[in-house]
A and B are shown apart, each in its own frame.
Chain A
Amino acid sequence: MQNKAKVFPVSHIVGFVLSLVMTFAAAWVALKTFYSFNTIMMIIGTLAVLQAALQLTMFMHMNEGEDGRTQTINVVYGIFVAIVIVAGTVWVMSIGMHTHH
């Protein structure tokens, strides 16, 4: 971020508009389309994750300041670990289960 005060908060506006778009998109998919329940859940879940990432970067100053890069790396690492734990466990543990059922 430059020292010169930014009069027009571009990132906030973009973030706000994109958040609105994604929220309405989710509402539209859920209320106005006739996809299967699973498909709808997948779409709105994806939109939710995208919006969380968007808000972290646009509003919550995740990548700003002196620790911006560190914070981004930490968050990305945290997400990586969470995915590994959940998806990894499901993958590893589901294999043996097919033979039992």
Chain B
Amino acid sequence: MGIKWNEFFITGDPLILGSQIAILLTMIGIVAGITYLRKWRWLWTEWLTTVDHKRIGIMYIIAAVLMFFRGGMDGLLMKAQTSGPEKEFLTAQHYNEIFTTHGVIMILFMAMPFLIGLMNVVIPLQIGARDVAFPHLNAWSFWLFFSGAMLFNISFVIGGSPDAGWTSYFPLAGKEFSPGIGNNYYAVALQIAGIGTLMSGINFIVTILKMRTKGMTLMKMPMFTWTTLVTSVIIVAAFPIFTVALALMTFDRLYGTHFFTLSGGGMDMLWANLFWLWAHPEVYIVALPAFGIFSEVIATFSRKSLFGYKSMVFSIVGIAVLSMVVWVHHFYTMGASPGVNSFFSITTMLIAVPTGVKIFNWLFTMRKGRIKMTSAMLWALAFVPCFVIGGVTGVMLGMGAADYQYHNTLFLVAHFHYVLIPGVVFAVFAGLYYWWPKMFGHMLNEKLGKWHFWLFVIGFNVTFMPMFFLGLDGAVRRAYTYSEASGFAPLFALSGIGSVVLAAGFAVFCYNIYWSFRYADRNISSDPWDARTLEWATASPVQHYNFAKLPEASSLDAFWYMKKNNEGLTLSDKEIKKIHMPSNSGLPFIMAIVFGVTGFFLVFEWHIAAAIAALGIVGGLIYRSFDYNDGYYVPVEEVQETESAWRNVKGEVNNHVS
């Protein structure tokens, strides 16, 4: 119970005080709004207890948009601080906290849930299934992720943010150099969220291997399904490493062990080693599904089958293997032997080969295609050159000897933003514009979409391109200020201006969501893009049981051939049977609260309180073991009614004959 109560709430910083007031007002506003609209019951039955993969996916995406806002604010604050030399907008400590939370939130609470959200919405539909393999577990995944994310997010107002960087290297992240509780948030919140992610990985492996519809062999799966499968395998391989590393960190910080302190007989660099053993595959965990999204978008809007499907599959699998053997390139300067650094230089450069194969496949898919310049396609087009810049600078950094020059400079920062923003954020935007009608039954506005696109892409390049040159000139990362004599000021200022444009792009996106929700045309068919894969073979938004009759896949691009050969698009009354579906459950949501409370106590090192709260976790598991509810049946009449409502509309390719 070492906490001083006067340090419980962070005080004394006007920015944080403003946030505290804003958070309080927002919470009051939400509670008042829901009560006024009498939506509590609706919220509980339709969303909080849902096990429907589409709704869970949408909740992931909402959480990701919120976290994008949070992480983006962090980014803007950093850019404001460095926009001029020797600015005193943020203190050094505050800057440390902000770059730490920016990194963690953007990777783990923005990129991951965006992609897992899209996987949740799309994968069961794409393989012609009615849900994921373990719908109840899926809800656990979401709520544990959400619990971890919220726990991490409150750190900056209650108790203090972690401030040792998103990598949290020891010895800095240890108790000796970070005595506050900030880094406990890192250790505990990421652990909780990580459990959720690991369960998602298992869930999707089983779903894709066991629940594909009739005729869909592995080599007839859509590319997004392939990338999700391989991503899930990497999740299951890599996340346990992080689980162990975080557990060791928790023991070091909370219980006085010395796994990562040299003076106590431990090894500080072992943390870096374990961290990157997880975090490098993590890069591919977020990049591969993004590649899958681009593959779907490019094939659909080039109106061609994906070029080099097999080579695409082999390169993804190749990346899954190579991604596990490149981790040391993050710490060449640790001073391992030339043998070690040379080995990892070679594997790092090797990984450019399968990635290059993919880039050429996308280009050849577009070749001689009748390209439609929709917003989704624009993101895919912008991705190619931007990502190539990121990739080529990655090969530069990958050379161990040269890395001594670039290490810890803004060159590196520019590189990974050029990889992760085009490679993940552009993909997510492409995916959202593409699958939005499938999720909500209306499109996002294309005109606003183009404003969003141009502002975001221009802003992105103006923000991060100068950082390559700053880095080559010697500007180090994670430094909260610089002198006027350094001559960095003009490029930093330019970068700061770019970040404002970038933020404007994101604002247009948020406005687009609002505008489209209010005003967009609802009379669109279930297949507005003339798409190729099975998720478009059912209604938009998708009815809760997905498919009245499971579709059959006879080839790659199954839905395209169904339309071309006019097969399987109709549904007659006698084909309708009652459908078995899983029941809702409040347990995952309640357990997320229990996990969150336990985590919160652990963060504050209130061990007895944490132990008591942890009993709640055990209780939840026991309760679940005695849960014999194995679902319910959707009656034939309900299916009939739902199906005839959407199928016999003008312009619809799927028909209902009775």
Enumerate chain B residues within 8 angstroms of A70, measured Cβ to Cβ: 209, 218
Across the interface, do B233 and A74 meet the contact criterion of CB distance under 8 Å? yes
Across the interface, do A96 and B335 meet the contact criterion of CB distance under 8 Å? yes
B494 on the A face (CB < 8 A):
no
Across the interface, do A91 and B340 meet the contact criterion of CB distance under 8 Å? yes
Closest to A98 in B: B337
Across the interface, do B336 and A89 meet the contact criterion of CB distance under 8 Å? no
Across the interface, do A78 and B340 meet the contact criterion of CB distance under 8 Å? no
Which A residues between 70 and 97 are near B, CB-CB below 8 angstroms? 70, 74, 77-78, 80-81, 84-85, 88-89, 91-93, 95-97
In the complex, what distance in Å separates the CA atom of A78 from the CA atom of B234? 10
Enumerate chain B residues within 8 angstroms of A95, measured Cβ to Cβ: 336-337, 339-340
- Give A35-66 as 1s and 0s: 1 = Cβ < 8 Å from B's Cβ atoms: 00000000000000000000000000000000
Enumerate chain A residues within 8 angstroms of B209, measured Cβ to Cβ: 67, 70
Across the interface, do A96 and B269 meet the contact criterion of CB distance under 8 Å? yes
Given A74-B233, A81-B324, A92–B340 Cβ distance below 8 Å? yes
Across the interface, do A88 and B325 meet the contact criterion of CB distance under 8 Å? yes
A74 to chain B, nearest CB (A): 7
Enumerate chain B residues within 8 angstroms of A93, measured Cβ to Cβ: 267, 269-270, 273
- Give A3-42 as 1s and 0s: 1 = Cβ < 8 Å from B's Cβ atoms: 0000000000000000000000000000000000000000
In the complex, what distance in Å separates the CA atom of A95 from the CA atom of B337? 6
In the complex, what distance in Å separates the CA atom of A52 from the CA atom of B274? 28
Enumerate chain B residues within 8 angstroms of A96, measured Cβ to Cβ: 269, 334-336
A32 to chain B, nearest CB (A): 40
In the complex, what distance in Å separates the CA atom of A84 from the CA atom of B281? 13
B10 to chain A, nearest CB (A): 37
Closest to B327 in A: A88
Across the interface, do B328 and A92 meet the contact criterion of CB distance under 8 Å? yes
B237 on the A face (CB < 8 A):
yes
- Identify which of B210, B237, B274 contacts A81 (C-beta below 8 A): B237
Contact size range, A:
10 to 19
B357 on the A face (CB < 8 A):
no
B320 on the A face (CB < 8 A):
yes
In the complex, what distance in Å separates the CA atom of A74 from the CA atom of B209? 11
Majority-rule SS of B interface residues: helix
Closest to B278 in A: A85
Across the interface, do A92 and B237 meet the contact criterion of CB distance under 8 Å? no
Enumerate chain B residues within 8 angstroms of A91, measured Cβ to Cβ: 340
B58 on the A face (CB < 8 A):
no
Across the interface, do A84 and B233 meet the contact criterion of CB distance under 8 Å? no
Across the interface, do B337 and A89 meet the contact criterion of CB distance under 8 Å? no
Across the interface, do B237 and A78 meet the contact criterion of CB distance under 8 Å? yes
B349 on the A face (CB < 8 A):
no
In the complex, what distance in Å separates the CA atom of A96 from the CA atom of B269? 10
Across the interface, do B320 and A77 meet the contact criterion of CB distance under 8 Å? yes
Enumerate chain B residues within 8 angstroms of A80, measured Cβ to Cβ: 321, 324
Enumerate chain A residues within 8 angstroms of B334, measured Cβ to Cβ: 96
Given A95-B340, A96-B335, A89–B273 Cβ distance below 8 Å? yes
B504 on the A face (CB < 8 A):
no
Across the interface, do A77 and B237 meet the contact criterion of CB distance under 8 Å? yes
In the complex, what distance in Å separates the CA atom of A88 from the CA atom of B328? 10
In the complex, what distance in Å separates the CA atom of A93 from the CA atom of B337? 10
A27 to chain B, nearest CB (A): 34
In the complex, what distance in Å separates the CA atom of A97 from the CA atom of B265? 12
Enumerate chain B residues within 8 angstroms of A78, measured Cβ to Cβ: 237
- Identify which of B233, B241, B273, B321 contacts A92 (C-beta below 8 A): B273
B61 on the A face (CB < 8 A):
no
Across the interface, do A85 and B241 meet the contact criterion of CB distance under 8 Å? yes
A92 to chain B, nearest CB (A): 6
B277 on the A face (CB < 8 A):
yes
A63 to chain B, nearest CB (A): 15
Contacts A77-B237, A81-B238, A89-B273 aside, 4 further interface pairs with beta carbons under 8 A come to A74-B233, A84-B324, A92-B336, A93-B269
Can you pick out 6 interface pairs between chain A and chain B where the beta carbons lie within 8 Å of each other? A67-B209, A85-B277, A89-B274, A91-B340, A95-B336, A96-B334
